[in-house]
């Protein structure tokens, strides 16, 4: 009841109140924390390749080892099948030739936006400078 009492944390799988929090691995796609038992079970499942997950783009279910992690520039959550990964990468390649903000065709000098700017593609010098001034 006091302001100092800590909020209890519960395991994301079994809802047990946690005394020891275990961080799930990124590829498990689980938010929150796990108890020791669930963490152990999940590691085992993934290690044995039993876990299936749907591609976030087309919804095809595959075992996790056949799915791909999206590149950080894509700003996506979840995993992709090979086909979606390839087509995503292709469309991303096309986008890369033009500044993502003003659309100017860029030569060899391109600037990668910082991940916190949440911009897909690359930027010309001018837009990069503008964004830097705006967002830091």
When the beta carbons of 1 and 64 are compared against Zn ion, the nearer one is 64
Query: Phi and psi (nearest 5°) for 30?
Result: -120, 135
**HEC string for 1-47:** CCCCCCCCCEECCCCCECCCCECCCHHHCCCCEECHHHHHHHHHHHH
Residues that bind Zn ion (CB under 5 A): 11, 13-14, 35, 38, 55, 57-58, 81, 84, 99, 101-102, 104, 124, 127
Q: Tell me the closest approach of the beta carbon of residue 34 to Zn ion, in angstroms.
A: 5
Q: Tell me the closest approach of the beta carbon of residue 3 to Zn ion, in angstroms.
A: 29
The answer to whether 131 and 123 have CB atoms below 8 angstroms apart is: yes
Report the alpha-carbon distance of residue 80 to residue 10 in Å, rounded: 29
Q: How far is CA 105 from CA 22, 74, 117, 122, 125, in A?
A: 47, 20, 21, 11, 12
Residue 2, CB-side half-sphere exposure with 13 Å CA sphere: 3
Q: Tell me the closest approach of the beta carbon of residue 91 to Zn ion, in angstroms.
A: 14
Q: Tell me the closest approach of the beta carbon of residue 26 to Zn ion, in angstroms.
A: 18
When the beta carbons of 40 and 75 are compared against Zn ion, the nearer one is 40
When the beta carbons of 75 and 86 are compared against Zn ion, the nearer one is 86
When the beta carbons of 2 and 8 are compared against Zn ion, the nearer one is 8
Q: Tell me the closest approach of the beta carbon of residue 1 to Zn ion, in angstroms.
A: 27
When the beta carbons of 14 and 63 are compared against Zn ion, the nearer one is 14
């Amino acid at each position: 009841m006091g302001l100092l009492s800590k909020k209890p944390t519960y395991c994301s799988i079994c809802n047990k109140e946690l005394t020891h929090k275990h961080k799930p691995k990124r590829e498990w796609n689980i938010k929150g924390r796990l108890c020791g038992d669930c963490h152990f079970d999940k590691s085992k499942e993934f290690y044995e390749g039993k876990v299936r997950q749907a591609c976030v783009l087309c919804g095809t279910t595959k075992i996790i080892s056949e799915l791909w992690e999206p590149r950080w520039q894509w700003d996506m959550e979840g995993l992709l099948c090979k086909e979606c990964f390839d087509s995503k990468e292709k469309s991303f390649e096309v986008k890369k030739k033009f500044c993502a903000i003003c659309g100017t065709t860029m030569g060899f000098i391109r600037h990668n936006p910082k991940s916190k700017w949440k911009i897909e593609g690359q930027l010309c010098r001018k837009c990069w400078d503008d964004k830097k001034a705006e967002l830091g």
